[in-house]
Amino acid sequence: MAISGNLPKLNTVGTRPIRHDGLDKVTGRAKYGADIHLPGMLVGKVLRSPYAHARLLSVDTSKAEALPGVKAVVTSKDFPIISGPLNFDNGSRIMAENMLATEKVLYKGHAIAAVAATDAHIAEEAIGLIDVKYDVLEPVLTVHDALKEGAPVLHEGLTTVFKVERFGKGEDTGVKSNIASHIQFKRGDLDKGFKDADLVIEREFNTQTVHQGYIEPHSSTASWSYDGRLTVWTSTQGIFGIRDATAAILGIQASQVKVVPMEIGGGFGGKTLTYLDPVVAQLSKKTGRPVKITMTRKEVFEGTGPTSGTYMRCKIGVDKDALITTAELHLAFESGAFPGSPVGGGAMSGLGPYKIDNLLVDGFDVVCNKQKVAAYRAPGQPQAAFAVETVIDELAEKLGLDPLEFRMMNAVHEGDRAPSGVPHLNFGNEEVERVMKEHPHYNAPLEGPNRGRGVAVGYRLNGGGSGSAATINVNANGTINLLTGSMDIGGSRAAIAMQAAEVLGISSDDVNPLVVDTDSVGWTGTTGGSRITFDTGRAAINTAKEVIKQMSNRAALIWEVQPEDVEFSDGVFICTKNTDDKITFKDLAAKLMDTGGPVTCSGIDKQGGVGAQLAGHIVDVEVDPETGKVDILRYTTFIDAGRAAHPSYVEGQMQGGALQGIGWALNEEYFYTDDGTMANSSFLDYRMPTSLDLPMIDCVIIEVPNDRHPFGIRGVGETVLIPPMAAIANAIHSATGLRMTKLPMSPRAILEAFEETNS
């Protein structure tokens, strides 16, 4: 690991303390979703469709309800929100339709009904007794099939919405098709740009559906009390999102619902939607007892959201000076059964690292008979980067330029416009590329046949701005309890605690960070968008400043001066009228009960987002021409972290992102049969890389401070997954001369590419 940058050192931020939750997790004391056991609790099971596309003619639950031990059965008819035609502007209604099918099942694994019974065996038997009559319809399984003229239309009431910006309602075109929406960014004169280009390269790309690969399956437990209050224990990335969605689907007020967060065994964006929570809630209401449902691994694959398969086309032109004159990026993303693919993320980011005066980006959100997609770590952006960065590499090759030098020549800087038209703020675009170019890995000799080196970069406009809250209770011994509502999916608990400690001048060991339920902290947005260390960190900073203000008032009482006569620095309160009067934060905490009582402060943060970020990867591969197998020989990752709050956790994010990207590049895909059945719905057959498949992944952290954060933090959870697929594709080209344009680049795909080249 190396850190490139000359930021002034802080006392706590930037150090590597032991994480607060580490001991409970390594000793097995931490409680996850499936660990909830309540008196009288029932077990739930879900009936899922065996067809990818079929009309529901009838659902008869009478035999299941008559089975001894079965206490309740629910279908979509038990949920008030599901009535009348589907409103595609209502996100909660879409989630409800995905949660339990109504008129049609839209993918194999689409839930139809759920039962609650005294044990799992009875529940399993009961779902087999539910009699469902289907009218089987022709499935539409790929984006290509969905866009064909005359293709079956999944939703009769769906019309295409045209948008000219990422967010906003857009204009309903009235056109009925499988295209849910069309987003477009356009500037300059595209025709003139290509006419002025001396070299133009255009290629088409396809990627397959892939899963986030979290180890813990979805699990939810609900208990509906007699006073009308509902409590849900669940593994989620956003307790307030689950609270609000559950309330909306059940037709009750959000204030009636308390969501208790459990530890989360991985999410990567895949645990931002609700699949089980309203179901167990309604079963609990019917039975008067707590109900828990835990998915099997097969159900996770078949019944929850992976990320999109795609079809993409990228065309870029450069002039004689190797400057990009124009670019066109066409993105068609599968959203699965309901609208909502991450095509907007790809449209915003694919061309983001480059200064381009003439561009056209078209993004299409396309429904098909697959699982409704969910977020996956930088949603939509790895796919777009796979297309753009492969073409960028080919342009550099044709121009005879070093691929990183070519990227630096065309890099955006502060004030240049992003594809969406928004001016860039300061971020380390060229800085990352320069560090990559100067790195020993990039300049090391690569000897031997069938070996190649590839590079790629990934741009992301990290999220934020949805809001976070924090509460600090000061204890008499000088420690604090720090309460937030942000789920910890990557060490954010420690990083937030470190920021509060930095402000208060105490050790991070003196902070007890707690992730609490929706009744115990102010509204907080979902853990996603790489925003938590940034947004919730800012909330903790604001709260810590209020603590200092209140404790300064207490010091003023002791010294009999005005509050403005008290200063605070490095954990010490100082009287400016008599500098010999000093008291540490800890010593003053011991006097709070004698000076007015306990200090408890709350604060929030809601502002305009984390900001832009660049990551880069260098990879060496060896390709076996006999088998098509690709081995990773060496891997180095780079990222502009702004400031690394906890460098060890930044490195962990970098290594984890690289590992997921390697799997996505070389092995991972949902393999569907012709009828829409996922044929590899287990970790045995859905092959993800392990430590045995990889070398050590080296990390280089570049620190270009983020002006939007007091300590310069950017957040690092997602951008790291954007470059790997393109970097590996470019390395395979270096090793073999093959330009791979489809994912995964499996041994079979490599051999087929060799055959096409030699035929």
Reply yes or no on whether the pLDDT at 165 is more than 70. no
Split at pLDDT 50, 70, 90, the class of 758 is confident
Residue 394 is predicted with a pLDDT of 98
Reply yes or no on whether the pLDDT at 166 is more than 90. no
DSSP per-residue codes, 420-450: TSPBP-S--HHHHHHHHHHSHHHHS---STT
Residue 421 is predicted with a pLDDT of 94
- Structure token pair of residue 37: 């056991």
Radius of gyration of the chain, Cα coordinates, nearest whole angstrom: 27
Across 713-733, average pLDDT? 97
Domain 465-605: CATH class, spelled out? alpha beta
Q: How far out from the chain centre does Cα 231 lie?
A: 26
Across 597-605, average pLDDT? 97
Across 90-111, average pLDDT? 97
Residue 590 is predicted with a pLDDT of 98
CA distance 134 to 48: 13
pTM score over 0.95: yes
Q: Kindly tell me the burial class for residue 58, based on how many C-beta atoms sit within 10 Å of its own C-beta (0-12, 13-18, 19 or more).
A: exposed
pLDDT single digits (tens) 347-391: 999 999 999 999 999 999 999 999 999 999 999 999 999 999 999
**CATH code for the domain defined by 310-463+610-758:** 3.30.365.10
Q: Which of 164-168, 307-311, 473-477 has the lowest mean pLDDT?
A: 164-168
Residue 167 is predicted with a pLDDT of 56
DSSP 3-state of 7: coil
pLDDT single digits (tens) 227-245: 999 999 999 999 999 999 9
- Structure token pair of residue 553: 């008032």
Residue 7 is predicted with a pLDDT of 86
Q: Which CATH number fits domain 33-138+217-264+271-303: 3.10.20.600, 1.20.1080.10, 3.30.360.10, 3.90.1170.50?
A: 3.90.1170.50
Across 88-104, average pLDDT? 96
Reply yes or no on whether the pLDDT at 135 is more than 90. yes
Q: Do 401 and 332 form a contact (C-beta atoms < 8 A)?
A: no
Split at pLDDT 50, 70, 90, the class of 224 is very high
Fold agreement between 33-138+217-264+271-303 and 310-463+610-758: no
Q: What percent of the chain has pLDDT over 70?
A: 99
Across 557-573, average pLDDT? 97
Split at pLDDT 50, 70, 90, the class of 6 is confident
Cβ atoms < 10 Å from Cβ of 417: 16
DSSP per-residue codes, 589-620: HTTGGGTTS--EEEEEE--S--EEEEEEEEEE
Q: Do 633 and 695 form a contact (C-beta atoms < 8 A)?
A: yes
Mean pLDDT of the chain: 96
Residue 2 is predicted with a pLDDT of 64
DSSP 3-state of 491: coil
Delimit the domains of the chain by residue range.
33-138+217-264+271-303, 310-463+610-758, 465-605
Q: Do 353 and 638 form a contact (C-beta atoms < 8 A)?
A: no
Q: Do 138 and 53 form a contact (C-beta atoms < 8 A)?
A: yes
Across 540-547, average pLDDT? 98
Reply yes or no on whether the pLDDT at 708 is more than 60. yes
Q: Do 218 and 304 form a contact (C-beta atoms < 8 A)?
A: yes
CB within 8 Å of 115: residues ≥ 6 apart: 44, 45, 47, 64, 70, 72, 73, 74, 123, 126, 127, 130, 283
Cβ atoms < 10 Å from Cβ of 84: 7
pLDDT single digits (tens) 379-437: 999 999 999 999 999 999 999 999 999 999 999 999 999 999 999 999 999 999 999 99
Reply yes or no on whether the pLDDT at 662 is more than 60. yes
DSSP per-residue codes, 93-161: HHHHHHHS-SSEE-STT-EEEEEEESSHHHHHHHHHT-EEEEEE-----SHHHHHSTTPPPS-TT-EEE
Residue 516 is predicted with a pLDDT of 98
Split at pLDDT 50, 70, 90, the class of 463 is confident
